[in-house]
Structure 1
Amino acid sequence: MTEESPKAIFYALAANLGIAVCKFAAAAFTGSGSMFAEAIHSTADCGNQLLLLFGLRQARRPATVLHPLGAGRAIYFYSLIVALLLFFVGGAFSVYEGIHRLLEHEPLSHAFVALAVLGISVVLETFSLMGAIREIRKQHPDKSMWRWFRETRESDLLVVAGEDIAALAGLAIAFVAVLLTMVTGNPMYDALGSIGVGVLLMVIAWLVAREVKSMLIGESASPEVRRAIEAHLRARSEIRSIINLITLQWGRHIVVAVQAEMIDYASGRAMVDAINVIEADLQAAFPQAKWVFFEPDVPRVK
């Protein structure tokens, strides 16, 4: 895993700033509930991206006596906050706005303006999503998006990709809602569109929050990285057998704890020297393994 690259976050921030301005102007001009819900969503997304950038900055803080492994997992906390904001500020507010407009039967005017802004928003959100996908493919060219979503340990990129996917799907719902309202003259479709956007955002936010919660509790390194580390250790001539191997993702870094049976050495110092070589080689092969704890032991008889 590479060092933090906030490119995808900057892509998303730039796109959402432009989109939010366009949507608020269109919502005020047309009176569209779906458009207003989308404008609130885009504004919330801007704040979310700023939170993620702040979280990445916090994660780079050096180790201290209080936090001996550094603050790498701080990004998980901020990613969870973003997911909660996406749920409540984006999703719940959109549902509320839709219900309000459904009860009030507020009319929609100048629908063509709303449709044009939604079209522009689709282009900008696609630009943002493609930026996130490029970052994902750069590191995981062979994984499907769903598999990456379930196995990734990059909470910031997970949140950005989730937001972008939710935004594009929400724009599609809003476009259909506004189009149906324009064709039928019934503002109910616009209100239902706002509710649909809100429900979609809450579902995506829940899925993202579930994944980030797991990271916050403490996940191992991704399956392929753990397998590669285990294979690297098993190939060492100094090691007779691996008794236990624990990996823990710590932000962009990994904690590795190894319990292994060593071959026979003439002295304890010779074994210590061998272990030092193993640790150095492991960190050279896996630069993300910032901390390696190695314990020589013998298998316990059950």
Structure 2
Amino acid sequence: MADGTRISHIKANIVLYGALFANLGIAIAKFIAAGISGSSSMLSEGVHSLVDSGNQVLLLYGQARAQRPPDNRHPFGYGRELYFWAFVVAILIFAVGAGISIYEGWRHIADPEPLRDPTINYIILAIAFLLEGASWTIAMREFDARRGGQSWWKAVRRSKDPAGFIVLFEDSAALAGLLIAAFGIWLSHRTGDARIDGGASIAIGLILATVAILLAREAKELLIGEAADPALIATIWRIVERHPEISTVNHVRTIHTAPDSVFVAVSADFEDGLKMGDAETLIETIEDELKTASPMISSIYIRPEKHEDAVVQPRSDILP
């Protein structure tokens, strides 16, 4: 990879790289603190950070695999492979992060360990909060710049790039987990009941399980195949129907083949008197206009079809 390409790749994935390096350092520190203090919630937090580090590696790997060019087996490219790895990330968060946290919490409630000096825990948690906060701020700014005035939840639902919202969800869960761990450790020593620390570990596990379920649902929708943004569909519809040779637009169907690549299929009723050569020229003109309107449109299929013979999709069904 050339130096310029490598630098561009790093800049494009600054959120993932920032989260990766922060989580690796935090995981090591948390495991050391857990070993010294015997804290269940601190051990859960170490597992949480380690899983997050693995998740960033998987997303970076998925992005690299998704960049492969189309071939005979995959004529529309490999862009949706990123969605597969996003789904794997959700499974890992649920199975490893949430599973181990809940198990460790239950084990420490059933057989609590004697309390030890918690000072090292507080120090590590404070450092982790600063690092996670920095990573969360980067992810928040990047996602905020892309949401285009939509609500946060609507922006997540409509996002076609899982890397951004996965890191945002992970960092939000991490900050919540750190606060719960700190409170659990403090309350355990305040009351002298080590089982409270185990309860904090279970609470962290439940947060991770909730995040995993949300991410799995979003990744599933992307894997199945989501339509383009309604604004882009509206643009496509307007470009096609403004040509006088088109009497009716029967439907406009789109699907994301990658976060930045859209396949468009249009069914339109052409004027009866239009000659074959003129129809071919019209289709080429429309394709050029569509690709000029949005660089995300990678493939276009326009089918001349009588309105009465077509499966008509009312415009109101897909446009805001």
TM exceeds 0.5?
A: yes
Q: Which runs of structure 2 are paired with 1:247-286 in the superposition (5 Å)?
A: 247-252=254-259, 253-263=261-271, 266-286=274-294
Cα distance between partner residues in 1 of 2:245 and 2:23? 54
C-alpha distance in structure 2 between counterparts of 1:140 and 1:150, whole Å: 11
Cα 1:140–1:234 change in 2 (3 A) is farther
Q: Deviations over 1:202-248 (max 9, x none)?
A: 11101110111111111111333323333333344443321011000
Q: Using CA pairs below 8 Å that are at least 6 residues apart, which structure has the higher relative contact order? A: 1
CA distance in 2, matches of 1:152, 1:266: 40
Task: Show the counterpart of 2:222.
Answer: 215
> Residues 59 and 183 from structure 1, CA distance in 2 versus in 1: closer, same or farther, beyond 3 angstroms?
same
Listed as ranges, the matches of 1:1-302 within 5 Å are 5-252=12-259, 253-263=261-271, 266-300=274-308
- Counterparts in 2 of 1:193 and 1:82: CA distance versus 1, 3 Å: same
Which amino acid in 2 is paired with 1:54?
Y
Give, in angstroms, the shift of residue 69 of structure 1: 0.7
Return the letter of the residue paired with 1:204.
V
Give the unaligned 5+ runs of structure 2: 1-8, 311-320
Identical aligned residues as a percent: 36
Q: How many residues align?
A: 300
How much has 1:38 moved relative to structure 2? 0.3
d(CA) in 2 for partners of 1:221, 1:107: 56
Offset of residue 199 of structure 1: 0.9
1:53 shift after superposition: 0.4
Pick closer, same or farther for the CA change 1:301–1:218 going to 2, 3 Å. Answer: closer
TM-score, with structure 2 as normaliser: 0.89
Alpha-carbon distance between aligned partners in 2 of 1:109 and 1:49, rounded to the nearest angstrom: 33
Distance in 1, matches of 2:242 and 2:122, equals 61
Instruction: Tell which deviates more after alignment, 82-91 or 238-247.
Output: 238-247
- RMSD (CA atoms): 1.8
Please state how far the C-alpha of 1:96 moved relative to its aligned partner: 0.3
Give unpaired runs (5+ residues) of structure 1: none
How far apart are 1:273 and its partner, in Å? Answer: 0.9
Q: TM-score, normalised by structure 1?
A: 0.94
Measured after TM superposition, the shift of residue 301 of structure 1 is 6.0
- Tell whether the 8 Å contact from 2:245 to 2:274 is kept in structure 1 after alignment: no
**Kept in 1: contact 2:109–2:198 (CA 8 A):** yes
